[in-house]
Amino acid sequence: MQPRLDPEGLFDLRYAAFLGTVSHLRIKLHRYCARMTGSALDGEDIMQEALFEAYRKIERLDDAQALRPWLFRIAHNRCIDFIRNRQARQRAEAGFASDDIVLPVEPAGPGAGRAIERLVVHLPPKERACVLLKDVFDHSLEEIAELVGSTSGGVKSALNRGRAKLAALPAQPGAAPAHDPELARLLGRYVELFNKRDWDGVRALTSADARLRVSDCYNGLLSGSPYFIEYERSELPWRMRPGVIEGEIVLVLDRRHSEEWLPAYLVRIHADGGVIDRIADYYACPWILEMVFADVGRSASPP
């Protein structure tokens, strides 16, 4: 049986088994994609696409030891496509002077990785990738050169430029959520109905061809999924509320532990014309919240 060209509907058992074989790499892959794109949620979406691409091409991999660099290369290419489509290159480069003269900068010391990886989004894509792969993920120059399509010398130059730019960056203020009163109203209504378990009311907020992605489980039409039925059947104590992550309004699923409600995972809603047309549920991706907590500190109660 040949794998589908796109994961549509419930994922088959072979794909689920493949996801199990790469589970040890997924946190690092997500971290890389999230830092390349500047979004933990976009990073997860791109990683999901990269994993399915790898699944479709797995027979081309002769050496099991090459799995990690191969997956990173696929994820990297997906990230570059995403950045180009978003025209992030122009925005990232606009605030910097010419690269004609850049003094070498020594690698960051131990413990600086988190600070570096939060700021690399301000670098052009090649420098961003080189700094991440070397200073955060500790890849060799040769590995990075193969991944980004360069030479060891080219990687060294990109590292010097990227490190110099990061050292010159001013303090970065936190991103404020975009003000969209129509979306806020729609999400507020969605949360209200969801917490009331009014599934017919929730469905009425969605378009007839709304899409649903549930990580590691389903990708297809919302109408063809058991999504709300699964929530209806759930006996776990949960509640939904609006939240903000990286300047984006999202929905947070809290679960009660003893007497305390704690965030468990995120749901991303997209609307068009006042109607929900896409839902992404990240219940199987605990690393997203772990990244958010690590970035802002648990005292901030994100998102």
**pTM of the predicted model as reported, rounded to 2 decimal places:** 0.83
The whole-number average pLDDT for the span 48-73 is: 87
Domain layout of the chain by residue ranges? 9-168, 181-300
Domain 9-168 CATH (choose: 3.40.640.10, 1.10.1760.20, 3.90.550.10, 1.20.140.160): 1.20.140.160
pLDDT-based confidence at 101, cuts 50/70/90?
A: very low
Amino acid of residue 144: I
| Two tokens, residue 44 | 């997860």
* Residue 121 clears pLDDT 50, i.e. is over it: yes
CA-based radius of gyration for the chain:
21
The whole-number average pLDDT for the span 263-280 is: 95
Q: For position 217, what pLDDT does the model report? A: 87
Residue 279: Cβ-neighbour burial (10 angstroms; 0-12, 13-18, 19+): buried
Residues across the chain? 303
Highest CATH level, class, for 181-300 = alpha beta
From CA 123, how far away is CA 120, in angstroms rounded? 5
From CA 281, how far away is CA 251, in angstroms rounded? 9
* Residue 24 clears pLDDT 50, i.e. is over it: yes
Q: What are phi and psi of 54, to 5 degrees?
A: -65, -40
Q: What are phi and psi of 192, to 5 degrees?
A: -60, -50
- The alpha carbon of residue 239 and the mean position of all alpha carbons in its chain are separated, in whole angstroms, by 23
From CA 6, how far away is CA 20, in angstroms rounded? 19
β partners of residue 244: 249
Strand order in the sheet with 260-272: 9-10, 218-221, 206-214, 275-281, 260-272, 248-257, 238-245
pLDDT digits (tens, 9 = 90+) for 197-243: 999 999 999 999 999 999 888 999 999 999 999 998 888 899 999 99
| Two tokens, residue 194 | 């969801």
From CA 172, how far away is CA 154, in angstroms rounded? 28
pLDDT-based confidence at 289, cuts 50/70/90?
A: very high
pLDDT-based confidence at 106, cuts 50/70/90?
A: very low
Percent of the chain residues past pLDDT 90, beyond the cut: 59
